Chains A and B, each alone.
Chain A
């Protein structure tokens, strides 16, 4: 079946640095990908919609200048957490829409755990 990968799987960084997370659809093209955030013991919250070839659409309350999203190709979306702070520590999960004929399925990546010290 369709597979979505994320890199890195976990990252530890110092406060004030920027971290880039990659989301790849391995065997299909995805014009639309989504970025979610999951705090410990909580549910996933949609951060933004990543559209290939156009600007990302951010959900209310998500700072677009802090969470930079680039969907440079049909198989890759990147999320850059700029000037990361400890409160940005979280589990970041991406998903991609897989189209097979008239069937549409959303596949999730395995997630990236970010720890900001």
Chain B
């Protein structure tokens, strides 16, 4: 069984500042890793995913994440955030069967 830990429950950040959301996972097998964003009262939207290959993954809206197998981490970053990036962000893992285990989520609040 796999599990996901998002180390920060809330991250306030000023507009145009960088942001990093931390995610660590545990699994006894190889995993696929995902970051999703959820805007208020909406479903989930995929930001990016790591399946294999390059450990640096680029996603939509300027986000990127780096898979670090030795540290079992998959931190999400954006060099310059916008007000519109205010949302809930979820890290998730799958062992290849499409079943996703989600972290508790990180609320990002971008202030002007």
Interface residues of A (CB under 8 A from B): 4, 6, 32, 34, 42-46, 49, 93, 95, 97, 104-111, 113
Q: Which of A34, A46, A110 contacts B43 (CB 8 A)?
A: A110
Q: Are the C-beta atoms of A46 and B100 separated by less than 8 Å?
A: yes
Q: Given A43-B90, A44-B90, is A108 in contact with B44 using a C-beta cutoff of 8 Å?
A: yes
- A46→B102 CA distance, assembly (Å): 9
Q: Are the C-beta atoms of B101 and A111 separated by less than 8 Å?
A: no
Q: CB-CB contacts of B69-108 with A at 8 A, as 1s and 0s? A: 0000000000000000000001000000011111111000
Interface residues of B (CB under 8 A from A): 36, 41-46, 90, 98-105
- A88→B38 CA distance, assembly (Å): 22
Q: Are the C-beta atoms of A43 and B102 separated by less than 8 Å?
A: yes
Q: Are the C-beta atoms of B42 and A46 separated by less than 8 Å?
A: no
A31 to chain B, nearest CB (A): 11
Judged by DSSP, the binding face of B is loop
A61 to chain B, nearest CB (A): 13
Cβ contacts under 8 Å, B44 to chain A: 44, 93, 95, 108
Cβ contacts under 8 Å, A109 to chain B: 43
A113 closest partner in B (C-beta): B41
Q: Are the C-beta atoms of A93 and B98 separated by less than 8 Å?
A: no
Q: Are the C-beta atoms of A44 and B102 separated by less than 8 Å?
A: yes
Q: Are the C-beta atoms of A42 and B43 separated by less than 8 Å?
A: no
Q: Given A43-B90, A93-B44, is A34 in contact with B105 using a C-beta cutoff of 8 Å?
A: no
- A42→B46 CA distance, assembly (Å): 18
Cβ contacts under 8 Å, A106 to chain B: 46, 98, 100
Q: Which of A4, A49, A97, A111 contacts B42 (CB 8 A)?
A: A111
Q: Are the C-beta atoms of B99 and A46 separated by less than 8 Å?
A: yes
